[in-house]
Amino acid sequence: MDQLTARDIMRKDVVTIGADASVRELAELLSQHKVSGVPVVDSEGRVVGVATEGDVIYQDAELHFPHYVQFLDSVIYVDSIRRFEERFRKAYGTKVADIMSDEVISVEPDTSIHDIATEMVERDINRVPVVEDGKLVGIITRGDVVKAMARERGE
């Protein structure tokens, strides 16, 4: 049997949102469609980010300032300032563009499910957009990969 690819297991009816939508609209969309994350697309269908429940939850999380040590006349931050800046942006953002992850890991339709599984594990991601010619054509979740692997092993 040929190895299954993204094209074989992807969901083509992808729920998406625009970067200019409000965080409230995102929360409503996730709740309404019972999904934990969605690709963020521009007007031409190109993926510009991914927004998740975790990004929305930042809105209610308590933000802690980075710990630092003062040594002589210098301040040395123990925590990453960049990480704090990202948490701050997510905590106080009002638009999807403010809270989304803009580092998108995507795959092409001919990518094998084994390569997709590897990406998901190595990068600790739950979903990957499937992109062809720069446009979103589907999405694959961890659950989709598990079902495909069960099907592949059962044949």
The pLDDT assigned to 56 comes to 82
27 half-sphere exposure, CB direction, 13 A CA radius: 13
Query: Which residues form the domain of 57?
Result: 6-154
Map the chain to HEC letters.
CCCCEHHHHCECCCCCEECCCEHHHHHHHHHHHCCCEEEEECCCCCEEEEEEHHHHHCCCCCCCCCCEEEECCEEEECCCHHHHHHHHHHHHCCEHHHHCECCCCCECCCCEHHHHHHHHHHHCCCEEEEEECCEEEEEEEHHHHHHHHHHHHHC
Distance between CA atoms of residues 136 and 117, nearest Å: 19
Whether 1 is in a domain gets the answer no
| Domain CATH code at residue 26 | 3.10.580.10
Distance between CA atoms of residues 139 and 12, nearest Å: 7
Distance between CA atoms of residues 71 and 90, nearest Å: 31
The total domain count for the chain is 1
Where does the pLDDT of residue 115 fall: very low under 50, low under 70, confident under 90, or very high at 90 and above?
very high
Q: Tokens representing 60?
A: 């209610």
Is the pLDDT reported for residue 130 higher than 80?
Answer: yes
Of the candidate ranges 17-26, 73-82, 104-113, the one whose mean pLDDT is the lowest = 73-82
Whether 98 is in a domain gets the answer yes
Q: What is the pTM of this model?
A: 0.75
Whether 55 is in a domain gets the answer yes
Whether 92 is in a domain gets the answer yes
Whether 104 is in a domain gets the answer yes
Whether 24 is in a domain gets the answer yes
Residues 17-58 have pLDDT tens digits of 999 999 889 999 999 999 999 999 999 999 999 999 988 876
- Cα distances from 3 to residues 13, 75, 152, in angstroms, run 23, 55, 8
Is the pLDDT reported for residue 1 higher than 50?
Answer: no
Summarize the confidence of residues 111-115 as an average pLDDT. Answer: 94
Residue percentage of the chain with pLDDT more than 70: 74
